[in-house]
Structure 1
Amino acid sequence: MSLISFKDWSVSRKSAIAASVTYALLLSGPGVYTPFFPLWLVERGFNASDMGLLLAIPMLMRVTSAPFAWIGDGRLGPRRTFLFMVCCAAFGYAGLTFAESFAAVAVNLAIAFAFVAATTPLLDTIVLGGVSLHGHKYGQIRQWGSLAWLVSGLTAGLVLKHLPITTVPPILAILAALTVFAGLSLPDDRSRGRRLIMRPASEGTSPPLQLLIVFVAGIACLQGAHAFLYSFGTLIWQDQGFSSLQIGVLWAIGVVLETSVFLFGGNIAGRLGPYRLILFGGAVGITRWVLLGLAPGNGFVVAGLQALHGFSFACVHLATMGWVARFTRNPSARQGVVASVIGIGLTLGTVLSGELYGLFSAHGYFAMALIAMIGTGLVVAAGAIERRNGAQPQSAVSGG
């Protein structure tokens, strides 16, 4: 199987490889941040409540995705907007190196992640354009980001055995700078931006407002339910006696399955459609959070539950991209709206996680199961709204 599908070898291959490399470097940062930044906060002396608030800031900053991504529909185009955002994020990461107080850490996190927020939706917009123009497979390009998340986390785990945890912010800044260099190879889309400005407002399709609100709220709950794992999974496993290497492997297992879904799940996603795939991911997520809430200490059991990440996250994400790609009006702005609302869900979940971890430790996962149940119900309601309204998007571009 070819990892990248294309019709025109010269143009399509170049853009697909550029997007794959850019995804890889862009998501290497979260691969380091997610497992090790909480440990950096512990080294700085913050308690669980302060950590919950600080870890919520990156999620909260995702509300800037919508306005920043909207710029990508203008004259700059998604590519130049993306490059500007990553440059600014690199400076924010660098500032964390010198931050010690709560206020200083909060300010630098806000600066970095205010710009990081729009980068993934902007890159998604560029890649989904390739889905329509060149026949690219979204999942087969996006997989390289997940794979890089895995490799960067494992590599950072080995590096941090020899270097102090204080090196985490400089590593994040360097990865952001490398992302800028990779992004320079993305297709020049200034002409696309001008066409979008000149295009009549009535051209293209968009979902009814009620459908968009209910659907995105459901996705925000399903993805926001991962907040407890992202914020305190490492600390819980540490409390249960897992070593740093074992914790790195546990994170890696989830990413391996996530990558597999992106690589092989496109055809399945096309057959099931976005709603069925999201409901499947939601059901798996509910099961995953309930079982993690029972605080299993057996490494094989925890590894099996981490493997479910490929379904609780990747299936929902893949189906969401497929759903969004069916509507062709203002694609960057809609990607930004989706990312912003998911960011709100993750923010609320992370703030709540700080309190849950302090009170209940691993049993806080039960609250995430409840949030996932609510999200699943909202997606069911969105499907009913679409059937009732007979919403017919212009094209059902596969996000797989």
Structure 2
Amino acid sequence: MPALPTATRLGLLYALVFAGIGVAMPFLPLWLASLALAPETIGFLLALPIGVKILATAPLMGLVDRGVAARRILVAGSLGLFLTYAAMPAAAGFGWPFLAVLIAANAVAAAPLVPCLDYLSLAAVRREPRLAYARIRLGGSLGFLAASLGGGWLLGLVGERAGATVFLAVLALVSAAGSAVFLGLRRGEPPAPARSTAAAPARPGRMPPALLLAMGAAALVQASHAAVYAFGSIQWAALGLSPAAIGLAWAVGVVAEIAVFAVIGRVPALNDAPFRLLVLGAAAALLRWAGLVGTAALPAAILPLQVLHGLTFGATQLGVMAALSRLAPDGARGAAQGRYSALAALASALATVASGAAFRIGGGPAALALMLPVAGLGLALALAAGRARRSLD
């Protein structure tokens, strides 16, 4: 049987990993609630993985620069997810502290999965310029959408308490097998040759200023989603939207993200243009949050504004990945990938806490309004990154 093309293998792995995220994000909180835990305990258990990933991602990705194959980290991480998800129901029977230990271990296992896939995909694009990161990453969005919709249907049949962790364990095991099979077809991950557009040489391990600014810009723009991620559904339900309508609003955002990943490479001005993409994502974030604040009492405005998710998330993700591919110095690419992931997690955690305080004071509009300066600072850093990059040319 002939080997699958590189882009297909990586796209399938993105789909598998993001399928787990597409189930865990909406349904793991419901599983915790089914255990009759106190709300404060549930909040702690949901916040715990964020803190763990902030600490664990960069060191784990640094292993790649020290010779540990990224595919081995993927297999090990996926197996770790399988074991921890499978053990969670038993641990819950002993009390929430035991469950907290497993959730922390689960977060360690999960921390390097997406950064490893990004690392492998960017290396493949540098090695084979005909490939496009956006088209590969599209698999993740499709996997997330399919799993969140299909998982909701399946768990509706068997119940969240009975099925959520089992479903997640099965997905993790499939992801481990997929990583072993798909990436096992390649022996090793040779460094890709530098493109002619690469940045001026930097000392190994030292990130160019333009890259640091780009990472900060992307982390802030992604963090500005915190209010809508945490409180969007609550706000929309308060406006009278049904659960089906709220689900449609989220689906519209994911579909828009998929559309951006599918077509961005066909737009000459944005193809392989990291700083333009970052500016576009940040500007769209300002428009999206301002629109949601200004039309807070108009449910009809939600769906059109959700379409901007394709840019606020999609363009920002593509921009920072292109910047990492161009500017991360050889010998420190894994560390750069890990640092960005940790920085984005930290920024999102802080934004989530801040938006929660704002929501208590002024509801959804206040939480969303707080995201405007976050996105605005992201836009300023994106513009500064572009200027810093041009100074090297």
TM over 0.5, shorter chain = yes
Distance 1:279 1:132 in 2: 23
Q: Deviations over 1:52-107 (max 9, x none)?
A: 54433333333222111121233331111111112112223334434386544543
Conservation of the 8 A alpha-carbon contact between 2:34 and 2:160 = yes
Q: 1:265 deviation in Å?
A: 0.5
Conservation of the 8 A alpha-carbon contact between 1:53 and 1:351 = no
Distance 1:36 1:229 in 2: 17
Q: Deviations over 1:133-173 (max 9, x none)?
A: 23321111111110111111111222333332323233222
Q: TM-score, normalised by structure 1?
A: 0.83
1:372 aligns with 2:375: yes
Q: What amino acid maps onto 2:288 in structure 1?
A: R
Distance 1:79 1:174 in 2: 19
Structure 1, unmatched stretches of 5+, are 1-9, 197-201, 393-400
Cα 1:106–1:213 change in 2 (3 A) is farther
Paired residue for 2:304?
304
Moved more, 82-91 or 313-322: 82-91
Distance 2:285 2:180 in 1: 37
Determine what percentage of the aligned residue pairs are the same residue: 28
Cα 1:106–1:146 change in 2 (3 A) is same
Secondary structure of 1:31's aligned partner: helix
Distance 1:213 1:171 in 2: 38
Conservation of the 8 A alpha-carbon contact between 1:48 and 1:355 = no
Cα 1:207–1:255 change in 2 (3 A) is farther
Q: What amino acid maps onto 2:155 in structure 1?
A: L
Paired residue for 1:321?
321
Match of 1:147 among 124, 134, 142: 142
Moved more, 18-27 or 153-162: 153-162
Paired residue for 1:176?
172
Aligned residues: 376
Paired residue for 1:6?
none
Conservation of the 8 A alpha-carbon contact between 2:124 and 2:192 = no
Q: 1:44 deviation in Å?
A: 4.6
Conservation of the 8 A alpha-carbon contact between 1:67 and 1:336 = yes
1:34 aligns with 2:25: yes
Q: TM-score, normalised by structure 2?
A: 0.85
Conservation of the 8 A alpha-carbon contact between 1:55 and 1:231 = no
Distance 1:193 1:203 in 2: 20
Moved more, 26-35 or 39-48: 39-48
Paired residue for 1:165?
160
Moved more, 376-385 or 134-143: 376-385
Match of 2:119 among 125, 135, 154: 125
Paired residue for 2:343?
341
Match of 1:114 among 100, 108, 119: 108
Cα 1:164–1:191 change in 2 (3 A) is closer
Matches within 5 A, 1:1-400: 13-44=4-35, 53-63=44-54, 64-97=56-89, 98-99=91-92, 103-134=97-128, 135-166=130-161, 167-188=163-184, 191-192=188-189, 208-268=207-267, 270-271=270-271, 273-294=273-294, 296=296, 298-327=298-327, 328-329=329-330, 330-363=332-365, 364-388=367-391, 390=392
Secondary structure of 1:67's aligned partner: helix
CA RMSD of aligned residues (A): 3.0
Paired residue for 2:197?
none
Conservation of the 8 A alpha-carbon contact between 2:214 and 2:275 = no
Q: 1:214 deviation in Å?
A: 2.8
Distance 2:369 2:33 in 1: 25
Structure 2, unmatched stretches of 5+, are 194-200
